[in-house]
Amino acid sequence: MALQAQQIVALATQIAKVPGYTSQAGQMLNMILADLAETYDLEVARKSATVNLNTTTGSGPYNLPSDYLRMAMDEVFYLVDGVPYVMVSIDLSEYDALVQQAGISNYPAQFATDVSGGVGNMLMYVWPPSGGAYNTTIRYYSQPSDITTPETSTSIPWFPNQTYLITRLAGELMKIAGDSRQQAFLGNGPDGAQGILHRYLELQKDDDGRAKTVHLDRRRFGSRFDRQPNTKTLGW
């Protein structure tokens, strides 16, 4: 049975032998959850959304979801008569060097993201400018919301490995208390937080039985749809 946030806090403070640190433990639990989302591509934090490309906005900017952190690899596409058009990710500096003038609108083939605004203010640009209305699916890694007062909350944290959360939280509390056990609780050993997390990360994706492949930049290897011969029915 999944533990509530308040139960995780209670167990961690008990293990760390700091029963009066419940408020600090609640703050640290949110800190740990935020750190996980920001540092690792976790499948449990992956979401889907739709960005509506259109001729009015053209190349952009288009607003990304308020909890957007970063895009999943090869997961930006739209359909034309049932045919998927997968867009290629490029750097913002590369996008800035592309020609932007009237008359070049077409099927968008590349996109860039501007994450300088921070979570809640991130933008996407496409090239060539959109020549039609395309409902574009994006799959991205999100920044889950903080738990309100975790030390009393009945909410269940989004990260499923609760052994890691308890061990990491206890170790962080030991750092405050000056407990010499902190290194063992936060370290790479089999019972340490980093060791537990490493095992979880190895098995988090549902890819058993599938061959692992090397990912190559589709701008330089293979065929992009915008380099293929145009047809009379679908356009490329």
The domain limits of the chain are 5-41+159-203, 43-143
**Mind giving me the DSSP string for 74-134?**
EEEEEEETTEEEEPEE--HHHHHTS---TT--BS--EEEEE-TT-TT--EEEEESPBSS-E
- Dihedrals φ, ψ of 69, to 5°? -115, -50
Residues 6+ apart with CB under 8 A from 90: 110, 111, 112, 127, 219
Cα within 13 Å of Cα(81), Cβ side? 5
Mean pLDDT, range 21-39, rounded to an integer:
96
Give the pLDDT confidence of 4-27 residue by residue, as tens digits: 999 999 999 999 999 999 999 999
Average pLDDT of the chain? Answer: 89
- Residue 212 is predicted with a pLDDT of 61
Q: Give the pLDDT score at 228.
A: 56
User: Tell me: the pLDDT tens digits for 72-119?
Assistant: 988 999 999 999 999 999 999 999 999 988 889 999 999 999 999 888
**pLDDT-based confidence at 236, cuts 50/70/90?**
very low
**Token match 């936060």: residue?**
186
Distance (Å, whole) CA 73 – CA 26? 33
Q: How far apart are CA 113 and CA 119, in angstroms?
A: 12
**pTM for the structure as a whole:** 0.83
At 112-142, the pLDDT tens digits run: 999 998 888 999 999 999 999 999 999 999 9
Q: Hey, how many other C-beta atoms are within 10 angstroms of the C-beta on 115? A: 16
Report the length, in residues, of the chain. Answer: 236
Phi and psi at 175, nearest 5°, equal -60, -40
Q: Provide the CB-side half-sphere exposure for 154 (13 A, CA).
A: 0
Confidence bin at 231 (pLDDT 50/70/90): low
pLDDT tens digits, residue range 45-78? 999 999 999 999 999 999 999 999 999 988 999 9
Instruction: Name the nearest CA neighbour of 9 among 165, 229, 227.
Output: 165
